[in-house]
């Protein structure tokens, strides 16, 4: 029954995204929310933004509906027609409503921030300040923590840093048709597998909604794209993946080899983090503002080395898939040797990307 509920959530968000994306395109044309080709842009023709509105709606709508129903049923009576396998989780879902509402409210703030920036550039410092404020509020208000063994203050600081970094990583990655949404979908699938493997339900439910929303949007965003996420979408996607990756339990309680699990998010996000770190270093090397867009992303570098945009995107998909598989396997290894091999494989994937983007493009 749980499986069917998960598939239903995925199908619902997929359907909403699939239907809402064309509507968002019409609204974008109506209000002039168009991304014009510029020097640092990869697209050749004016393309509507607001695709992120469709993705967010496909996540927000079902999440609010399910949370409201769970709260009502938990406070009154669970209908008799609800299967017992599902009914036993209603109370737990209702108890998590404050956390869900806090995360959705934070995502909504970032969504509005992105809409404003898509309409008229706010500047990198303003965007970063709002992101830090939102991520700090979620960390404290929703009691979200990574590496709790590090102690409360340090854990809180690391959580904010993680959320801000992943939010910007997927915002940076939104530089080519289908790239950010596709990589996010792969990460969602890997997180879904990892969280289901340790018996979680709350996180997988959110991931099903995200995965469905992203797949519905990719129908229109895969190269050549007819619509873009915009900052209103990429900021939300990155933020939610940061939250859900922090919320995921990567190992079963009591496992002696739990320490490997703390590296799962880093392995899983290796490709987006590689892009973020490399482009920031390149901009700093050339004394440029690291938050100002340009064509230094590794997707652009792959294209400059002779790949088509579609081939570059597919190459990055495959690299992300390879690190995602490693991340899912990492919590289940039982020896240092096996863990080292997984880390080595991840580094090999990143080295392969570095070789591809630094080759001379000759046969």
CA distance linking residue 36 with residue 51, whole number of Å: 15
Contact 356, 289 (CB under 8 A): no
Tell whether pTM > 0.75.
yes
Q: Determine the pLDDT at residue 2.
A: 72
Contact 239, 106 (CB under 8 A): yes
Q: Determine the pLDDT at residue 361.
A: 42
Closest C-alpha to 202, from 2, 363, 345: 2
Contact 291, 281 (CB under 8 A): no
| pLDDT average, residue stretch 279-293 | 79
**DSSP codes joined into one string, 216-257:** HHHHHHSSSPSS---HHHHHHHHHHHHHHHHH---S-TT-TT
CA distance linking residue 363 with residue 353, whole number of Å: 17
| pLDDT average, residue stretch 148-170 | 93
* pLDDT one-digit tens code per residue, 292-309: 767 778 888 888 888 899
- Report CA 82 to chain centroid distance, whole Å: 32
CA distance linking residue 333 with residue 257, whole number of Å: 8
Contact partners, residue 65, CB within 8 Å, separation at least 6 = none
CA distance linking residue 236 with residue 112, whole number of Å: 10
Dihedral sign (CA 178, 184, 187, 193) = negative
Q: Determine the pLDDT at residue 363.
A: 33
Q: Determine the pLDDT at residue 161.
A: 97
CA distance linking residue 21 with residue 13, whole number of Å: 12
Contact partners, residue 270, CB within 8 Å, separation at least 6 = 323, 346, 349, 350
pLDDT level of residue 359 (50, 70, 90 thresholds): low
């Amino acid at each position: 029954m749980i499986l069917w509920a998960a598939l239903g959530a995925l199908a619902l968000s997929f359907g909403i995204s699939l239907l809402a994306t064309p509507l968002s395109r019409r609204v974008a044309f109506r209000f002039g929310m168009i991304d014009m080709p510029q020097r640092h842009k990869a697209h050749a023709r004016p393309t509507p933004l607001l695709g992120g509105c469709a993705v967010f709606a496909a996540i927000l709508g079902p999440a609010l509906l399910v949370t409201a129903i769970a709260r009502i049923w938990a406070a009154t009576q669970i209908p008799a027609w609800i299967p017992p396998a599902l009914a036993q989780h209603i109370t737990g879902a209702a108890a998590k409503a404050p956390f869900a509402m806090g995360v959705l409210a934070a995502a909504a703030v970032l969504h509005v921030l992105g809409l404003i920036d898509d309409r008229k550039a706010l500047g990198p410092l303003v965007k970063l300040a709002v992101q830090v404020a939102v991520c700090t509020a979620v960390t404290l208000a929703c009691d979200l923590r990574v590496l709790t063994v590090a102690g409360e203050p340090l854990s809180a600081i690391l959580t904010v840093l993680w959320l801000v970094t992943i939010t910007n990583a997927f915002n940076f990655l939104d530089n080519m048709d289908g790239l950010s949404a596709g990589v996010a979908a792969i990460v969602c699938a890997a997180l879904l597998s990892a969280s289901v493997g340790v018996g979680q339900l709350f996180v997988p439910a959110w991931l099903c909604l995200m995965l469905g929303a992203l797949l519905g949007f990719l129908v229109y965003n895969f190269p050549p794209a007819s619509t873009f996420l915009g900052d209103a979408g990429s900021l939300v996607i990155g933020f939610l993946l940061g939250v859900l990756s922090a919320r995921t339990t990567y190992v079963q309680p009591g496992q002696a080899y739990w320490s490997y699990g703390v590296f799962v998010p880093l392995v899983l996000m290796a490709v987006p983090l590689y892009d973020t770190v490399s482009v920031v270093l390149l901009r700093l090397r050339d004394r440029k503002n690291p938050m100002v867009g340009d064509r230094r992303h590794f997707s652009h570098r792959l294209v400059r080395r002779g790949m088509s945009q579609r081939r570059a995107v597919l190459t990055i998909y495959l690299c992300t898939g390879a690190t995602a598989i490693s991340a899912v396997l990492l919590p289940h290894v039982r020896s240092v040797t096996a863990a080292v091999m997984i880390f080595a494989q991840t580094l090999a994937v990143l080295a392969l990307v570095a070789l591809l983007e630094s080759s001379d493009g000759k046969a």
